[in-house]
Amino acid sequence: MLAAQLLDFNRLELVDLPVPTPGPGQVVVRIRSCGFCATDFKAIKGIRRNVRFPLVPGHEPAGVISAVGASVAGFREGDEVIVQPSGFCGVCTWCRRGLTHYCEVSHTTGGDGPDDVRPGSFAEYLLTDAATVYRKPAGISFDAACQAEPVSGAWKGIIHLSEMKVGDDVVVIGTGGIGMYCLQVAHAAGAGRLIAVDVSERALETARKLGATHCVNPARVDAKAAIAEILPAGPDLVVEAAGPIEAVKLMVSLLRRGTRWNVFGITTHETFDLDGGLMHFLEARMDASFGTNPLAMDRAIRLIERGLVDPEQVISHRFPLSRIHEAVEVMAGPDRNKVIINP
């Protein structure tokens, strides 16, 4: 099978690998679509260094089951499916609490987080546990379906962890792929004022179409002052979905009584300052969100199927796997939202 394999930082090569064979409890999925996440890009470019080579990146897949291992019930060859990249044991304390992304022996297919990183979905075929597979609703495309994983992260962060309420004023810093899904989830959940912050006018234009009531470009205005003018009393929830440390610092600067933050986008080990007294007396609350779990995946698939989140409006570029290097170049630039790889 054709696969994009990362042999070293800045050394992504198209190679021919054996098609995997499923063992007990496993399935092989013929990948039809896989989202290109910033996490993948950071690994390819060496921005994040916790990478073991060789690595087949790609952790946002959807496709068709091509082979089924022993002891697999409920799935068969030809089923159209969505794959959760986070594998779990199902029996440890964390799994029994429903927090499978905390699993003591977790693994990921092509992603980030656990020590056990297995080949991902920038390939024609993927080997995965049947427990991580979900049926794709017939009414949505493979391109939209593969976005269930990032949508699930947005739902988990905003609704499940930061407990957004109807009428909350929400600021989303960074409206790339994940930021757009955070924006759509917040809009669907009944945000009052919904402010999108990004340095890309293209991204902000899309954000307006997806429900943003206001847009702020930090490259053109003082973002803190602009947000204060829109929300004199301050935001209820600030979602950092950008990644750069400057976005985190902007999030912290928007503190007021009862502010909730979600540190979503930054995955590199960088530091920022907090005023302990302000955190205490203003009762600020900081959450974060990484990975996904079955509950979040279920919610995400429902949101997409019901049309409350529409990945088709976020996708800006599509590339066959054979043009993966062009996709990397697009990921490095500002004029894109979500990039999809179609093996």
pLDDT tens readout for residues 301-316: 999 999 999 999 999 9
pLDDT > 90? residue 335:
no
Averaged confidence pLDDT in the chain: 96
pLDDT given for residue 165 in this prediction: 97
Domain assignment of residue 250, yes or no: yes
Domain assignment of residue 172, yes or no: yes
Q: What average pLDDT score do residues 193-212 get?
A: 95
pLDDT given for residue 267 in this prediction: 80
Q: Residue 169 belongs to a domain with what CATH number?
A: 3.40.50.720
pLDDT given for residue 266 in this prediction: 85
Cβ atoms 53, 6 nearer than 8 A: yes
Domain assignment of residue 336, yes or no: yes
Host domain of residue 281? 153-288
Per-residue confidence at 41, pLDDT binned at 50, 70, 90? very high
Cβ atoms 342, 321 nearer than 8 A: yes
pLDDT given for residue 11 in this prediction: 98
Nearest residue to 265 via CA among 200, 135, 176: 176
All residues at 6 or more sequence positions from 208 whose CB lies less than 8 Å from its CB, including other chains: 196, 215
DSSP-H helix ranges across 6-126: 38-45, 93-96
Same domain, 95 and 162: no
Per-residue confidence at 319, pLDDT binned at 50, 70, 90? very high
Residue 330: φ, ψ to 5°: -65, -40
Residue 331: φ, ψ to 5°: -60, -30
pLDDT digits (tens, 9 = 90+) for 79-91: 999 999 999 999 9
CA 162/CA 157 separation, integer angstroms: 6
Q: What is the pTM of this model?
A: 0.95
Domain assignment of residue 224, yes or no: yes
CA 98/CA 267 separation, integer angstroms: 23
Same domain, 13 and 131: yes
Per-residue confidence at 243, pLDDT binned at 50, 70, 90? confident
pLDDT digits (tens, 9 = 90+) for 126-153: 999 999 999 999 999 999 999 999 999 9
Q: Residue 125 belongs to a domain with what CATH number?
A: 3.90.180.10
Same domain, 175 and 43: no
Asked which of 139-148, 167-176, 329-338 is least confident by mean pLDDT, the reply is 329-338
Count: domains in the chain: 2
CA torsion angle for 80, 210, 319, 299 (degrees, to 10)?
-30
Q: What average pLDDT score do residues 30-42 get?
A: 96
Same domain, 74 and 187: no
Same domain, 180 and 163: yes
pLDDT given for residue 37 in this prediction: 94
Domain assignment of residue 299, yes or no: no
Same domain, 204 and 99: no
